[in-house]
Chain A
Amino acid sequence: MIMFKTSRGRRLMADILTYIVLFTMTIFCLGPIVWMFLTSLKNEADIVTSQMQYIPRSITFQNYRAIWTQSNFPVLITNSFVVTAITVAICVATGTLAAYAFSRLSFRGRDRLMLSYLLVRMFPAVMVIIPLFVMMRTVGLVDSRFGLALAYTSFLLPLFVWMLKGFFDAAPKELESAARVDGSTRLGAMGRIILPLARNGLVASSVFIAIAAWNEFIFALMLTTGQGSRTWPVGLQLMVGEFQLPWGVLAAGGILSILPVVVLFAIVQRTMVQGLTAGAVKG
């Protein structure tokens, strides 16, 4: 086995192994999604059939048409979009400050406070929904996109803070002191030095939050109505009625769900991985 002896040979083996792993994983991940795509192009009769059709015998776009017209798709997507945007905005505005404090400043009870941020996530959504609903009614935020965004923030903010803290940790601690020696205020140090460095980490964390908000179902179901701020996942679940499960339409809905996310991810992918790399050196 001369291959293993030379370092170039070893590297080649490693590369081949890598490709095998990557290909296998891609099939594992992509397979079901490809099947979903094929299903979305089939007629109902070609899906509910005793003869499995791999390549659709006839392609139809009626499923996509059905989604667009029947489920009030444009409104739902807009609502999802707005709610996600607001959630990300609130999280970034409040969470960045907190993550900075946890990372760069030391104060008494810091660790305990950080853990307590995590604690708030631990209570199951089931029980939180009703009192949240009562609260929102009292302030008139029920069935509003802002209200839903606030609800999402409640359980996404800790996630955001924990992730972002890691990225702040990566920047060397001396940077602030250097800036202050030069006459900058702490605010200035934060704004001019640290934030730009952690910008990629910020993007990365925001993307995670955005995906979570975009896909959330239970809070959206309970806190919104169809005439108001109902979001996309609820619209999808609606298609699963008592007496029908239109596979083709549901599959089309699934494909349409991931498109915006994929586009967003492709755009930020480069900065995201770069951001994440800057984040994890010290943990």
Chain B
Amino acid sequence: MKSVLHRGPVAKLGDLSETRYWVYLLLFPSLILLLLVVAYPTLYGFVISVREMRLTRPALNGWVGARHYIAMMSDRVFWISLKNTAIWVTAAIAIEVTLGFIAAVALNRNVPGTKLFGVLILLPYFLPNVVAGHMWALLLDPRLGVINDLLVRIGVLSTYKAWFADPATALAATILVEAWHGFPFFALLFLAGLKGIPEDLYKAAAVDGAGPVRQFRLITVPMLRTVITAAVILRVISLVNSPDLLLVLTGGGPGNATQVLSLYAFQTAYREFNFGYAGALSVVMFVILMVFASLYIRFTQVTKE
């Protein structure tokens, strides 16, 4: 055994790993990073939400307590945004999960050519939001849109339709674009999950007389539970918090038909320069997400091993 004096750094680290502080050492780098980069901005956001901070009216700045939150209750646009956010997120997630699942199941059968199909099906996720948004704006354009042209040719429409100009279809059209862009995320994760389920389980169930539907319900879904939960939470957070796609496609119109909370906060901050109110909106979004996440996790009982 080498004398203690001659042990190299790796060995020393190895010694360190035997101590009770090993866990904290492992967590330390990421924790520090997150605290440094995220904690201050988040606190700042909370603080701003109880202050008035309107860039163009410096005289009004200062502590205002819960005024923004009270004003929010009677803000018509806030409630519309809230409703639209709920619809948008729920519909998008539902479609993305369904499509992702179907894709995963199909890819999992590993028929010849799966590798190629796999890459092609995952392509939409690789595009930046900016590009995807403009591209679909062109596809659905009321004058230049090829989808309109195709629909007219096959007789579904009589003239080009202005999908984003009609409040009845605007939200649905944006949901379609978002679903197209986001479902590969689920497809990939589900595929991985599916591949991890041992074939024997299915064979055993088949021997017991379970048909494909029961197999699905009793084997597939439970095994995928953690994957589904994590993926859904991550995606919901992402959808609630980022206005990129809607900013490009509709800007919240027509007439607030596609206004969502994230876009509303963005416009309040950078068009009205009312950072206090935008901060309050952000805090509300944060709380909503937190409540959703805890409820959802509890509901699916995922953290129980």
Contacts and interface: CB of A to CB of B under 8 A. Distances in A.
Q: Do A and B touch, yes or no (CB under 8 Å, in the complex)?
A: yes
Nearest to A90: B33
B128 A33 contact: no
B128 A257 contact: yes
Contact of B30 (A95, A150, A166): A95
Contact of B23 (A35, A107, A120, A276): A107
A124 B263 CA distance: 10
A43 to B, nearest CB: 14
A93 B33 CA distance: 11
A136 B195 CA distance: 43
A82 interface: no
B205 interface: no
A25 B45 contact: no
A276 B192 contact: yes
Contact of A257 (B44, B127, B136, B275): B127
A273 interface: yes
Contact of B227 (A25, A131, A236, A283): A283
B213 interface: no
Given A19-B111, A98-B27, A257-B128, A28 B180 contact: yes
Contacts of A187: 10, 13-14, 16-17
A186 B127 contact: no
B26 interface: yes
Interface string A238-276: 001000010100110110011001100110011001011
A261 B286 CA distance: 32
Most B CB atoms within 10 A — which of A90, A117, A122, A237?
A: A122
A30 B240 CA distance: 27
A170 interface: yes
B192 A186 contact: no
Interface in A203-245: 204, 211, 214-218, 232-233, 236-237, 240, 245
Interface stretch (B59-67, B137-145, B162-170): B137-145
A63 interface: no
B242 interface: yes
A6 to B, nearest CB: 15
A18 interface: yes
A127 B111 contact: no
A223 B244 CA distance: 17
A48 interface: yes
Task: Tell me what chain A mostly uses at the interface: helix, strand, loop, or mixed.
Answer: helix
Given A273-B192, A276-B188, 20 more contacts: A98-B29, A98-B30, A100-B26, A107-B23, A115-B294, A117-B34, A122-B237, A132-B37, A186-B18, A188-B14, A211-B126, A217-B129, A217-B130, A245-B134, A247-B144, A262-B126, A276-B195, A280-B189, A280-B226, A281-B198
Interface of A: 14-15, 18-19, 21-22, 25-26, 28-30, 32-33, 35-36, 39, 47-50, 52, 54, 90, 93-95, 97-98, 100-101, 105, 107, 111, 113-115, 117-132, 135, 150-151, 153-155, 157-159, 161-163, 166, 170, 185-188, 190, 204, 211, 214-218, 232-233, 236-237, 240, 245, 247, 250-251, 253-254, 257-258, 261-262, 265-266, 269-270, 273, 275-283
Interface of B: 10, 13-18, 22-23, 25-27, 29-31, 33-34, 37-42, 44-45, 48, 99, 102-103, 106-107, 109, 111, 113-115, 117-131, 134-136, 138-139, 143-144, 146, 149, 180, 184, 188-189, 191-193, 195-198, 223-227, 230, 233-234, 237, 240-244, 262, 265-266, 269, 275, 278-279, 282, 285-286, 289-290, 293-294, 297, 302-303
